[in-house]
Amino acid sequence: MISIRRKPTRTVRIGRVAIGSGHPIAVQTMTATRTTDIEATLAQIERMQAAGADIIRIAVDSPRDAEALRVIRRHTDAVLAVDLQENYRLAAVVAPYVDKIRYNPGHLYHHEKHKDVREKVAWIASVARAHGCALRIGVNCGSVDPEFQRRYPDDPLTAMLECALFHCDVLDSLGFDQYVVSLKDSDPYRVIEVNRRFAEKRPDVPLHLGVTEAGLPPMGIIKTRIAFEALLAEGIGDTLRVSLTLPNDRKHEEVLVGRQIIEDVYSGRFLNAPRSVLRGLNIVSCPSCARVENERFVELAEQVRALTAYAKDYDITIAVMGCRVNGPGETDSADLGLWCGPTHVNLKRGPEKIGTYTYDEILPRLQEELDRLIRQRFGPSQEPSADVRESVDGAS
């Protein structure tokens, strides 16, 4: 065992779980079933609890989801958190049934655009206070508040940081201190940097750690370990979630991985992966969750990994995103992006949309664009040969 001095953050209570101020690091996960499929969601919650989940997050995007949540609450004693996406007004509907509410500052502008963001945050805080809920200010690299993107167009990490600090100040001014902050990116080194910077400026605020869209195992686990090992060893982080692209029957594995990382760090076992591990082809894929609009998304992510293996040595990022919430923004910064809808996949090159294709059509179109990108960026002489493609195809 090694001695790690945790940052002196304050205590935040999430139902029966206390985080911060030296309390054990809580491990979270998120259901991937349709929230309206109550039986399946309850079964998944039970598996997650058995794996050791301290807090389980459920996606609520509609009144139907909120009604399902009410029923779910009656049949489980799990500590539940819920996401507020575009419709922040759902907070009043879900608050009676959960222990924590997460809102994304980048999504508050979608509704009631005439209202100041401070007014919206004040309303969310009043709802949380009335029902004894904690809050999470969840800042993601692909959905930062547009105001801070305008202020720092060439410095996305500072935009994330200043956005989080602003929302902390708003909640502080309201006398609401039962909140945590998360600052997530798909690049583990950016996660390390922005969380270090936040912890220096606000050492009192508990941090929820995560690498968003870490992707498929094993690389998704490696990316997560790189970030978590560095931060946890410095005493940064009070709760965490491992975000992996997994089929529904394996979602509880996120909890097992999270617990293993914590145990390893406190036992002095580190991966210490060099930066070169992340060089070459980088496939970013969001964790399968209840917001995924077609469960073929997980299978597609696996197929993309197999199809593109021949390009493993090229510094190219391909993002495979499964929902409308994170899909558009998170694919903008990738070289090639697949934003997956219910029946079709939007193929993008950076922020530019190339076209929309069925799940059966998308893979050959992706390969065409990948080959074109390799030729343009690295030159025709660097393009993989047909023999290389065939050997990869045969191996997969």
DSSP assignment string, 169-190: HHHHHTT---EEEEEEBSSHHH
Question: Is residue 230's pLDDT more than 80?
Answer: yes
Range of the domain at 391: 279-395
Q: Give the pLDDT band of residue 392 (cuts 50, 70, 90).
A: very low
Q: Indicate whether 369 belongs to any domain.
A: yes
Residues 289, 251, single domain; the answer is no
Q: Mean of the pLDDT values across residues 204-208?
A: 98
The string of pLDDT tens digits covering residues 158-180 is: 999 999 999 999 999 999 999 99
Two tokens at 228? 């978590």
Whether 387 shows a pLDDT value over 90: the answer reads no
DSSP result, 289-354:
-TT-S-THHHHHHHHHHHHGGGGTTS--EEEEE-STTTHHHHHHTSSEEEEE-SSEEEEEETTEEE
Same domain (yes/no): 166, 298:
no
Q: What average pLDDT does the chain have? A: 90
- What is the helix (H) or strand (E) element at residue 231, kind and residue range? helix 219-233
Residues 193 and 49 grouped into a single domain: yes
Top pLDDT among 217 and 110 is at: 217
Q: 142 is written with which tokens?
A: 């692909």
Inform me whether the pLDDT recorded for 223 exceeds 80. yes
Residue 138 falls within a domain, yes or no?
yes
- Domain boundary, last residue among 273, 289, 322: 273
Residues 150 and 261 in one domain: yes
Rounded Cα–Cα distance for residues 115 and 130 (Å): 22
Residue 298 lies in a domain: yes
Task: Output the domain CATH number for residue 131.
Answer: 3.20.20.20
Token digits of residue 284: 């970013």
How many C-beta atoms surround the C-beta of residue 328 within 10 A? Answer: 18
What local confidence, expressed as pLDDT, does residue 396 receive?
44
Last residue of a domain, one of 251, 273, 295: 273
Residue 289 within a domain: yes
Last residue of a domain, one of 273, 301, 316: 273
Is the pLDDT score of 11 beyond 50? yes
4 found inside a domain: no
Q: What is the mean pLDDT of residues 70-82?
A: 98
Asked, for residue 5, whether it belongs to a domain, the answer is no
Total structural domains in the chain? Answer: 2
> Are 364 and 383 in a shared domain?
yes
CATH value at residue 353? 3.30.413.10
Confidence band for 395, pLDDT divided at 50, 70 and 90: very low
In a domain? residue 7: no
* Res 74 pLDDT > 60: yes
| Rounded distance between C-alpha atoms, residue 251 and residue 45, angstroms | 10
pLDDT digits (tens, 9 = 90+) for 274-331: 777 778 898 888 776 666 666 788 889 899 999 999 999 999 999 898 876 666 767 8
244 and 350, same domain (yes or no): no
Does residue 2 belong to any structural domain of this protein? Answer: no
pLDDT, position 282: 87
Amino acid 16: pLDDT: 97
Same domain, yes or no, for 315 and 269? Answer: no
Residue 155 contacts residue 161 (beta carbons within 8 Å): no
Would you say residue 388 has pLDDT above 70? no
35 and 67, same structural domain?
A: yes
Residues 6+ apart with CB under 8 A from 7: 199, 203, 207, 235, 236
In this structure, are 22 and 118 located in the same domain? yes
Beta strands in the chain (DSSP E): 12-14, 17-19, 26-30, 55-59, 80-84, 100-103, 134-140, 179-184, 208-209, 239-241, 282-285, 317-321, 336-340, 344-349, 352-358
**% of the chain exceeding 90 in pLDDT:** 69
Greater model confidence, 180 or 396? 180
Same domain, 205 and 301: no
Whether residues 46 and 124 fall in one domain: yes
- 306 plus 334 within the same structural domain: yes
| 53: nearest Cα among 312, 254, 336, 302 | 254
